Amino acid sequence: MTARDLARVGAVIGVGESDYVGDHARVRAGEKPADSYGYAADAFRAALADAGIGRDEIDGLIVGPTLAYERTGEILGINPRWGGQADAMLAVIEACMAIRSGLAEVVALVYGNDQRSAAIQYGGPEAMGGNMFLSYVYHAPWGFTSQGALYAMMFRRFGELTGCTERDLGEVAVAQRHAASLNPHALMRKPITIEDYMAARYICEPLRLFDYCLINDGGVVLIIAEAERARKMARKAPVLIHGVGRSDLNRGATSLEPRLLEFYRPAQEACAAQVYAMAGVGPEDMSALQIYDSFSCHVPFALEGYGYCRPGDVGRFMREDGIGLGGRIPVNTGGGHLSESYMQGWAHQVEAVRQVRGECGARQVAARGAGDSRFVHYNSDVAGKAVSIIYGS
């Protein structure tokens, strides 16, 4: 089996999310609507309803790193014959691998997080328990446990080399807030302007308030089935997984080298080559692009790394060609981590599926290319680990 054998073996038949807006309001009022498992269960029920199937049809389970595999299966009332734990991006790839190898046919990808109500720290001496994720604490001797500080340094050097300004970076926050204003599931729906962005306070210069992701509770579930079975069982038209890719940068990772010297570019380019070849499409075929955006500067890095604009031209590209809903390539069409919800990459993929289905109402993007086909590209490049997925009709 080669990597190309994963093309179109799996299809998304159901997606579900918890009530981000209602739960956030309850948390702010001092309530605790659910724990991580409760949010995951809410999303699971919604995904089953979206797919039009019963839980007994699921024979595979992958849970996010916030959940225990066995406990999640117990709470959801399923006995999978195959499963494990993975992040949002690798969960999709692993589900396709399991389907291709015959280990499972219908896989639920389940995530839940009570990070807001549990007051999880993503920076400082107690960041994620001190060493749950070592990437947060490698640099503690130099006072760096905050990802914001790392990305501030990264964008500072990127801007010096490419001419991409802070005002150019503001295009990301403004475009995504406009998309969120059209998304009833988004937490931050009040539109902002470039002037609002520039007037916002620095959190870690050159990154401002609007460059940072939200922190909220929630749950997300995707259900992926073997493609032929998906066509027979799904209530809605299945969304095919046309291609996947992955490339990691580990050498020099703890010294910041992949961040500061090449901005993850080698991993992104290698990953792009894989996913485009597997799917048989390229950047020019995409109707929308979803980018993991714990910080806004992920977007310009990815636009260059995945071939959406020439290296060194991303500032002009965002400013003139546009990354909003009416732009050259609409980015994070649900609002992304900055304005919709911080679900660590899981909700981006729900948005990709809904865009392919044509379910997004006022924020729906147009099909590009021949016929009525839509391709939506999702990518993540956290800590130099580039992962890419292309969804399509």
Q: Is residue 332 part of a domain?
A: yes
Nearest Cα neighbor of 259 from 388, 379, 151 is: 151
pLDDT of 251 over the 90 cut: no
Question: What is the DSSP code string of 106-140?
Answer: EEEEEEEE-TTTTT--SSSTTGGGTTSSGGGTTTG
Q: Phi/psi of residue 192, each to 5°?
A: -130, 160
Q: Is residue 327 domain-resident?
A: yes
- Contact between 194 and 74 under an 8 Å Cβ cutoff? The reply is no
Give residue 287's domain range. Answer: 3-119+214-392
In this structure, what CATH number is given to the domain that contains residue 329? 3.40.47.10
- Residue whose entry in the numeric block shows the structure tokens 């802070």: 166
The residue that leads in pLDDT, 302 or 120, is 302
- Whether residue 159 lies inside any domain: the answer is no
Is 31 a residue whose pLDDT tops 90?
yes
| pLDDT value of residue 131 | 46
Q: Does the residue 234 lie in any domain?
A: yes
Whether 123 has a pLDDT exceeding 80, the answer reads no
Q: What is the pLDDT of residues 332-347, one digit of tens each?
A: 999 999 999 999 999 9
**Residue 50 within any structural domain of the chain:** yes
Specify the number of domains making up the chain.
1
| pLDDT one-digit tens code per residue, 264-290 | 999 999 999 999 999 999 999 999 999
Is 175 domain-assigned? no
pTM here is: 0.94
Across the range 59-77, mean pLDDT stands at: 97
Check residue 2 and give its pLDDT: 53
Beta strand 239-248 with 385-392 is: antiparallel
Cβ-proximal residues to 31 (8 Å cutoff; 6+ apart), any chain: none
Residue range 356-371, pLDDT digits in tens: 999 999 999 988 865 5
Is residue 369 domain-resident? yes
What's the rounded Cα separation, in Å, for the pair 169 and 58? 43
Residue 203 in any domain: the answer is: no
> What own/partner pairs with CB < 8 Å and gap ≥ 24 does 362-371 have?
362/182, 363/179, 363/182, 363/183, 363/325, 363/333, 363/334, 365/287, 365/288, 365/325, 365/330, 365/333, 366/287, 367/287, 368/284, 368/285, 368/286, 368/287, 369/285
Place of tokens 């009332």: 77
